[in-house]
Structure 1
Amino acid sequence: MLKYSRQREAIKTFLAGRYDHPTAETVYLGIKEEFPNISLGTVYRNLSLLSDIGEIQKLSTGIGPDRFDGNPAPHYHFICKHCGSVLDLSVDGLDHINVLANQGFDGEIEGHITYFYGKCADCKKNS
């Protein structure tokens, strides 16, 4: 059983109210007012722990620093190659990817992570 932490709960609450998939630094700046003595290292450790136990998602997009998602349920993400924003995608019907990937594979597929890349609506509009 994980010991209760006010700081960890504040991080979860901060993420739960956001859909922009903030970086660890953004989370740190967002809770620093409530916890003025918190360190960036403490935020990183708690984000890593929350990700490891499945309460949040850590997104390693390959563009910029890792991002964090307060929604732990499986879903897809879009990454803008121009501005670096990370957006949730509502995509139905991709569950069969696990079945397809399992064909001809001797192991067992338990899940997948897929990122979609391109230009977000704002970048598309401004180009």
Structure 2
Amino acid sequence: MRYSKQRAAILDFVQESCSHPTASEVYEGVRTSLPQISLGTVYRNLIQLCEAGMISAVDVGSGPTRFDRRIDEHQHYRCTRCGRLFDVEIPSGPLFAAGVEPSLPGTLEAYSVSFFGICEACRARKDDVGFAQE
């Protein structure tokens, strides 16, 4: 992959972010230093960076794809109230795969696990109507 100022700025933005930004968020963040960059350029470069293994794409079902600076194996927790995405470490590996594989209709090559719930910050909000506080 050849160097480009735009790609370097996009990679820096994702690698400095802990929030798993969307392409639109990356675009808005990079535009502060590169005002002429287009959303299409951001999308293309995010895909290329994922394909090169420099960042990863996170699909959590509904909503836009998010991009992660972490490329190691880990899972995610998505708050169903605010939409924030958190990294989660769960035991995985051969024991996990061995427990799942017998129930699959074929061989296991890879897997992805996502968790959904209400994050502590949202649970702590007293002004949430219809949400019982514990």
TM over 0.5: yes
**4+ long deviations beyond 4 Å:** 104-107
| Residue 31 (structure 1) shift | 0.8
Structure of greater Rg: 2
Q: Which residue matches 1:88? A: 87
| Residue 63 (structure 1) shift | 2.8
> If the length of structure 2 is used for normalisation, what is the TM-score?
0.83
CA contact (8 A) 1:63 1:81 kept: no
Cα 1:122/1:102, change in 2 over 3 Å: same
> If the length of structure 1 is used for normalisation, what is the TM-score?
0.88
Q: Which residue matches 2:39? A: 40
SS at match of 2:46: helix
| Residue 61 (structure 1) shift | 1.2
Paired amino acid for 1:18: S
Q: Distance in 2 between matches of 1:116 and 1:106?
A: 23
| Residue 104 (structure 1) shift | 5.9
Cα 1:104/1:125, change in 2 over 3 Å: closer
Q: Which residue matches 2:62? A: 63
For structure 1, the residue ranges without an aligned partner over 5 or more in a row are: none
Q: Distance in 1 between matches of 2:3 and 2:107?
A: 35
CA contact (8 A) 1:63 1:84 kept: no
Aligned CA-pair RMSD: 1.7
Q: Which residue matches 2:2? A: 3
SS at match of 2:32: coil
Q: Which residue matches 2:114? A: 115
Paired amino acid for 2:124: K
Paired amino acid for 1:60: D
How many residue pairs are counted as aligned between the two chains? 125
Q: Describe the superposition over 1:19-65 as per-residue Cα deviations: whole angstroms up to 9, x where unpaired.
A: 11011111011111221111001101111111122211111112321
Q: Which residue matches 2:48? A: 49
Q: Distance in 2 between matches of 1:86 and 1:63?
A: 12
SS at match of 2:50: helix
For structure 2, the residue ranges without an aligned partner over 5 or more in a row are: 126-130
Give aligned-pair identity as a percent.
Answer: 37
